[in-house]
Every structure is written in C-alpha cells, then in structure tokens.
Amino acid sequence: MNHFHYRDGRLFVEDKALADIAAEVGTPFYCYASATLARHYDVFAAAIADNGLDAAICFAVKANASLAVIRTLAQRGCGADVVSEGELRLALRAGVPAERIVFSGVGKTGRELSFALVSGIRQINVESLPELESLNALAVRMGRRAPVAVRVNPDVDAHTHAKISTGAAEHKFGIAWDSALAVCRHADELPGIDFRGLAVHIGSQLTELAPFAQAFAKVRDLTLALREAGVPVSHLDLGGGLGVPYAPGEEPPSPAAYAAMVRETLGGLGCALMFEPGRMLVGNAGVLVAKVIYVKETGTKTFVIVDAAMNDLIRPSMYSAHHEVIPVAEPAPDAEIAPVDVVGPICETGDTFGRAMLLPPLAAGDLVAFGTAGAYGAVMSSSYNGRPLVPEVLVKGSQSCVTRRRPDYEDMLALETLPNWL
C-alpha cells in the first residue's frame, strides 16, 4: 500500500499518525491518502499517454463518493462516471466540469435523464431500447440532442466474483450483443440522439487482461461493422474494472500492461477513448480504522471484536473479500502470531472481517486498520443496528481534515416521524 507505513512504531498515513487522528475523531473512521490518489491517477494517465491513446479518464464515483476525494482527482484533470442524479450533483459540486462527466446505469429515471441533459454532461451511456426511446423523447421535448454511447453486452466471462461480473448475456447490463448493431443504427437516426459510439464494462476487480481483450476485440468488430453500415463511431468508453491487490503477493495487471492491451485491441480506429476506473484509483488509498473492544476466548477460538462492523465495510460479508488487518501500533518483530477471527459487534454471523487471520496479540483498546478500504467501503455503509455512519478523513502530508463528519444521534433521529395515530 502506498503512503501507509510505520514510523517509530506507529502507522502513518503520509505524515500523519493514524493514532492521532483516532484521538481527535474517535473510531471507527475511514482515512484516505491524497498522495496515493494522485499517484494512482498519474500512473494510469501516464500509461495511457505512453501508449499514444487519446483518452479521457472519468473516475467511477460509485467506488468512493467523498466530495474531497472527487475534487482531489478532479484537480488533476480527472472527470467523473456517475450512476445517479445524486452522484452527478456530487461530481458537479466537487468541481468536475460537466463536459467531463459520463452517466452510466441500467435504470436511469426520466428525472435523472433530464437533469443530465440540463447539466450538459459529456455523455449518457444508454443500456436499453426503452431508455433510448425515452431519452430521445425527452431531448426532443427539451429542444436538445443527447450525446449518447450505447452500452453493449459483449457476452464474455470476466473471471471475477459473481456479484460484480457484468458482461455476460445473463447479466442485466448493456444491449444484447445480437441486437447491438440494430440499436446503434436506430440511435443514429433518432432526432434527439447524438450517437457517438459504444460503451462496455464487463465487471470489477478483474485480475486478468484476457477478458478485457476479448470484450475489446468484439467492440472493435462492432465498430467496423457499424461504420460499414454507414453509422459513424467516434467514441469508445471502455469502462473500469481493473483489479487491485488486496493481499500481499496479489499482482493484478499493471496500468501499463492494460493500456498496451487497449492500444493493441482498439488502437488505430481513430476513436476518442474513455476509461472509468473506480477501485483502481481509490482502493489502496484508504483504510478503515477501528478499535478493539474485547478479545473473547471461547476454548476453540479467539475472537477479536472491533468497533467497526459489516455496516461500515460490507465487502467481507457481501463478496467474501479479504482486507488486511494492520495493527496501528507496530508489533514487535518477535511477536507471537496466532489465528484469530476478527469480527464486528453486529448481530449476524456474517459480520466477520476475517477468519483465522494470523495476527500478533491484540488487546482491548488497540487500534487496527483494514487495508484497501478506499473503494466500495464508505459508499456502501449503512446505519444498520442503529450505528452512526462512519466519518471520513482526508490526509495530505501532515494535514488532515474530517471531510464527512460522524452524524450524532440527534441527526439520526431527525429523519424519523411518528404518524399522528401513535
């Protein structure tokens, strides 16, 4: 992980000690490193430039919707890929220019589409014929032409977790491969639609290049077929999906290898490209910091019970995901390593961060950081079990800022109303 390291026995994020943030903010909290965000963006942008690709990078906001994170990336020239009006408003508020925003998603409502049109965003990725028809009708009524890419479903196996695979025929995403050409041709004829090209996104946390290459080769074929049919294709949106390492030794394809594969599969078509990386930009830029409440011995097992839970970081229970547990106080080199289950306080067995994790001794009051928690962490949190949403802290050098505060119990109760019959 970048910019998360021990210094004098204490875990630092850049030049700020996590224990010091914990003392100010309380636990649990998410913490992000600006330097890692910047580095990941720069490495990806450089890989694209080095391969001579003409491309826009639009951060998939659904991976991390912190205003401060979006703005950190936007200041480097990054755009935004949004999937709802809420995310679109966030991206605009973060300072992403409308012409760098793309709107994805299988079920955009009429209200969301009209807001996107009024905002003048760069592109709307359409995923079905009914969506295309209603967007056309809306645009005509508003006296506009909607800039559209048609998201196609290339029917490939992404070789990733079933819940985050999106590019096979059985999935709800995109236009079925067999009807893609006809839908694009139709889109090109509609008066309210400015047909630009194709979009594809086959899944998340991909750890091989082959599924991408397979999908992109099909996109190339379709591009050529469309041109032959007289339908101009000027834009290709290649989605996100590149995996990140969650455990030591994991080595997903590098941005350089990914960009080279893109050049090989889609280079020379003269299309403007777009990428929508999410996890890759933010995953390893964040940790979730928690405090040990109790260590419970049951005779057969040791449970380390922490004050973060599945409502704060759902990936282990939702995707069986692994997150490293890093003691915030550096363990002694000769510390005895023993298997423990790290669990949260929620009344569900699924509220388990890891089973038989090999860790040095931990005691009540100790702080631990869950690694690689910057993507699909805070954004997927809830207040299940009456637990306040976890605050987010952004670090830059030795500075830190609480970029989203922890709601207090009054904030939480303020949304509730009793009906007049009670």
Interface residue list for ligand PLP (CB under 6 A):
60, 62-63, 81, 104, 201, 204, 239-241, 276-280, 375
Tell me whether residue 78 is one of the annotated catalytic residues: no
How many CA atoms lie less than 13 Å away from 377 in the CB half-sphere? 30
Q: Which of 58, 78, 347, 401 is catalytic?
A: 347
Which positions ≥6 away from 142 have C-beta within 8 Å? 114, 117, 118
* 3 or 279: CB nearest ligand PLP: 279
Least separation in angstroms between CB 408 and ligand PLP: 32
Q: How far is CA 139 from CA 98, 127, 144, 402, in A?
A: 17, 17, 5, 40
Smallest distance from the beta carbon of 421 to ligand PLP, in angstroms? 43
Identity of the residue, 158 or 359, whose beta carbon is nearer to ligand PLP in the bound complex = 158
Minimum gap (Å) between residue 261 Cβ and ligand PLP:
16
User: What is the nearest approach in angstroms of ligand PLP to the Cβ of residue 5?
Assistant: 25
Q: What are 264's two structure tokens?
A: 């090989």
Nearer to ligand PLP, 131 or 276 (CB): 276
Q: Which of 106, 222, 216 is nearest to 171 (CA)?
A: 106
Tokens 């949403």 belong to residue: 389
Nearer to ligand PLP (CB atom), residue 197 or residue 239: 239
Residue 75, token pair as written in the block: 């200041």
For the bound state, the minimum distance from the C-beta of residue 200 to ligand PLP, rounded and expressed in Å, comes to 9
When the beta carbons of 244 and 290 are compared against ligand PLP, the nearer one is: 244
Active-site residue set: 347
